[in-house]
Chains A and B, each alone.
Chain A
Amino acid sequence: MTGGNEDLQTIRLEILKRLSTRERQQRNVRSMLKHYLLLDEQLQQSRRPRSISMNSEQLNGSANDQLARMKEEMANVYRLKSKNDQDLIDANRKLTDSEARFNLVQSQRDKLRKEVDEMTEKMRVLEEELADLKEKNLAISTERIALVATCTYLTEKKTQLENERFQMLNKIRELQEKSAELMNAEITLQEERAQLRIREQIARATADLNLGDERASATFGTSPDTDEFMMTDVLPSEVKFKMTVHDGEVNDVEWMSDDMFATAGSDAKVCIWRVSPNKTDATKVSTLTGCLGSANRLDYDNQRHVVLASSSDHTCRLWNVDSQRLLSTFSGHTDKVSSARLFQTHNVISGSTDRTIKQWDISSIRCLRSYLVGSTVFDIVARCGVSQSSFISSHFDKKVRFWDARSSDPTYSLELGQKVSSLDVSLDGLQILASSRDDTLSVIDVRNYGIIHLYSAEQYKTSCDTTRAIFSSTGEYVLAGSSNSSVYIWNTKTTKLEKVVKTAREDAHQIMSLSWNPSGRGLLACDRQKTCTLWR
Chain B
Amino acid sequence: KVDVSAKWKLTSGKQKKASVQWYVRVSEIPTGKISLLGREPHPQEVFYYESRSCVDEVDAESIISTVQVKLRGRDLYCRMRLQFSFHLTELSFGTFIDFLYIQILLILTESSLLSTTPNTPRTPRHITPSIPSRSLPARQPANVLEEARTRLHVSAVPDSLPCREQEFQDVYSFVESKIMDGTGGCMYISGVPGTGKTATVHEVMRCLQHASDMDEIPPFHFIEINGMKMTDPHQAYVQILQKMTGQKATADHAAALLEKRFSSPAPRKETTVLLVDELDLLWTRKQNVMYNLFDWPTRRHARLVVLTIANTMDLPERIMINRVASRLGLTRMSFQPYSFKQLQQIIMSRLNKVKAFEEDALQLVSRKVAALSGDARRCLDICRRATEICEHSAPNPSSTGLVGMSHVMEALNEMFSSAYVTAIKCASVQEQLFLRAVIAEFRRLGLEESTFQQVFVQHQALCRVEGLQPITVSEGLAVCQRLGACRLLLLEPSRLGVQQRVRLNVSQDDILYALKAD
| A and B physically associate | no
The interface of chain A, by Cβ under 8 A from chain B, is none
Chain B residues close to A by CB (< 8 Å): none
